Amino acid sequence: MAPVWQAAYVAVHLWWVIGGAPRFFMGRESYFPGGWVPVALGVLALVAYLAAAATARGEADRATHYALAGLNAVAGGALCVYSFLFPVLLVALLFEGPGPGIVASLLATGGGAVGGVLCLRVAVDEWRRAVRSCGSCGRVHGRSPESRAERAPGWAYAGAYVALAGFAARIGVWLADTIAGRWPSGVSRANVSWSAMTVFMVLMTLAGTLLPLALAHRWGRLWPAWVVPLRGRAVPRWLVLGPGLFVGAGLTAYFGIAGNIAWIRGEFGGPALPLSLEMGGYTLWGTGLLVASAAYAALTRPPCRKPVRAHT
């Protein structure tokens, strides 16, 4: 499926290069230049996937698996970064409804995002082959956590609290603007849906406080005692990991990469301190969530089906 998907992505964008691209939402598919860029990224992803597939049935040494993991990680990461508007458009679709071109843009950016995720998945498989992880559960027994009950590593807590600090920096700017009467502006008063804004602010607060803490702390993996009907049971993995990856990737790509590049280029400006807190806060928030999500993914793997004796 993956090579067909990548080939279709390349073919569509090659067609747009030759015959002209359709009119997308906000006038473009990505913040980054179009044209041959998505074609080149798609070809790189296709080559990386086919190279990994060519060695899947044969014997390859560890160096080859490491190289294929790196190649697929670069290709997949580049496609995901190029298609970073996908979560932004998805949120816009949920809160604003379908508008002219937004569905087409969502499909185009979604195609790149799915292709990137497929490449990243291949990169993970190649990495596991390189480190000779368990074929049943993907762990490197003796080094990887064996159950949800184990304590998260220190870097997971660091990521979670960096995300919390980033949210605090961003919300501090918003509170200062609100107290000073600079938010909402006259334009936003005229166009805002207060019910949607309320839902958005509640979700934003949960994503900046509860979510990073749940990614690192034990109660985010096993229901705590005060949740009486569920105490001690496993928290559904994707209930926490899904939002962590989605919000973390969206904030990192939109603000951490595109936003900071635009700021450096002088495409927008403002008072230095509030703008630094806002852009830096979003960037730290997103990257912190991704770091904590990586630890959460490792800690919440399904139990290994092999007997303990087989691990040694």
Average pLDDT over the chain reads 85
Residue 189 lies in a domain: yes
Residue 147 lies in a domain: no
The token pair that represents 188 in the structure block: 């936003």
Question: What was the pLDDT predicted at 24?
Answer: 61
Residue 308 lies in a domain: no
The answer to whether the predicted template modeling score (pTM) of the entire model surpasses 0.85 is no
Interval 194-223: pLDDT, tens: 777 788 889 999 999 999 999 999 999 999
Residues 101 and 158 placed together within one structural domain of the fold: no
**Strand partners for 234:** 222
Burial class (CB in 10 A: 0-12, 13-18, 19+), 26: middle
Reduced to 3 states (helix: H, G, I; strand: E, B; else coil), residue 101 is: coil
Residue 10 lies in a domain: yes
- Helix %, strand %, coil % for the chain, to 5? 70, 0, 30
DSSP 132: T
Higher pLDDT, 33 or 64: 64
**What is the rounded distance in angstroms from the CA atom of residue 290 to the CA atom of residue 255?**
14
**What is the rounded distance in angstroms from the CA atom of residue 217 to the CA atom of residue 224?**
11
Question: What was the pLDDT predicted at 184?
Answer: 63
How far, in whole angstroms, is CA 36 from its chain's centroid? 24
Question: What was the pLDDT predicted at 243?
Answer: 95
Higher pLDDT, 150 or 21: 150
Give the residue numbers spanning the domain of 209: 154-299
Residues 79 and 215 placed together within one structural domain of the fold: no
Residues 158 and 295 placed together within one structural domain of the fold: yes
**What is the rounded distance in angstroms from the CA atom of residue 215 to the CA atom of residue 219?**
9
**What is the rounded distance in angstroms from the CA atom of residue 276 to the CA atom of residue 63?**
42
Interval 79-97: pLDDT, tens: 998 988 888 778 777 766 6
Q: Identity (one letter) of the amino acid at 201? A: M
Question: What was the pLDDT predicted at 25?
Answer: 52
- Nearest-5° Cα angle at 104, 100 to 107: 145
Residues 28 and 107 placed together within one structural domain of the fold: yes
For residue 312, pLDDT over 60 is answered with no
Residue 162 lies in a domain: yes
Question: What was the pLDDT predicted at 141?
Answer: 77
The token pair that represents 305 in the structure block: 């089906």
